[in-house]
């Protein structure tokens, strides 16, 4: 496995190790430099009072996909979200949704990445753009950052 592939697998394991993901069942795949996909199923458990997915799940998956796409370019440090803008374009009630993240710019201290949510019919249901900053937290110091336990 190349160094880049090891980094991608370690980031995937880091995602899986986050306690928040016990509340939002999802799976991540880093498909290359600057690219990440998160798939999840929308069920009634994520509904707001009017019977569609709450914006919380839109934000979580858009932020995570953009974050992990950006963090593929930072092999030493954990990035932190400093801002995130999102746009809701269509409500979703149930079914598989994929968050596609893509790095846009930045390689040193600040990174910009975007993401979009695609529903089971292939329609875009949400879009976001985030700014991420290199933190002081070393990736190798995080228990979940392990390329060997996929």
Q: Are 62 and 70 in contact (CB under 8 A)?
A: no
CA–CA separation, 113 vs 77, rounded Å?
Answer: 16
Q: How confident is the model at residue 4 (pLDDT cuts 50, 70, 90)?
A: very high
CA–CA separation, 45 vs 94, rounded Å?
Answer: 10
CA–CA separation, 139 vs 133, rounded Å?
Answer: 14
The closest of 100, 102, 111 to 78, measured between CA atoms, is 111
pLDDT tens per residue across span 35-56: 999 999 999 999 999 999 999 9
Domains, the chain, ordered by start = 3-141 (3.10.129.10)
pLDDT of amino acid 147: 82
pLDDT tens per residue across span 70-108: 999 999 999 999 999 999 999 998 999 999 999 999 999
The pTM assigned to this predicted structure is: 0.95
pLDDT of amino acid 148: 77
Average pLDDT, the chain: 95
């Amino acid at each position: 496995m190349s160094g880049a592939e090891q980094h991608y697998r370690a980031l995937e394991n880091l995602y899986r190790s986050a306690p928040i993901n016990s509340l939002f069942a999802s799976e991540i795949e880093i498909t290359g430099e600057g690219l990440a996909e998160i798939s999840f199923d929308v069920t009634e458990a994520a509904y707001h009072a009017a019977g569609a997915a709450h914006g919380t799940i839109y934000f979580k998956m858009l932020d995570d996909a953009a974050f992990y796409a950006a963090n593929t370019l930072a092999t030493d440090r954990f990035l932190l979200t400093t801002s995130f803008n999102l746009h809701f374009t269509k409500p979703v009630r149930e079914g598989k949704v994929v968050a596609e993240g893509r790095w846009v710019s930045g390689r040193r201290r600040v990174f910009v990445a975007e993401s979009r949510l695609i529903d089971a019919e292939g329609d875009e249901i949400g879009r976001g753009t985030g700014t991420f900053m290199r933190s002081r937290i070393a990736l190798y110091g995080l228990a979940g950052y392990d390329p060997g336990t996929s």
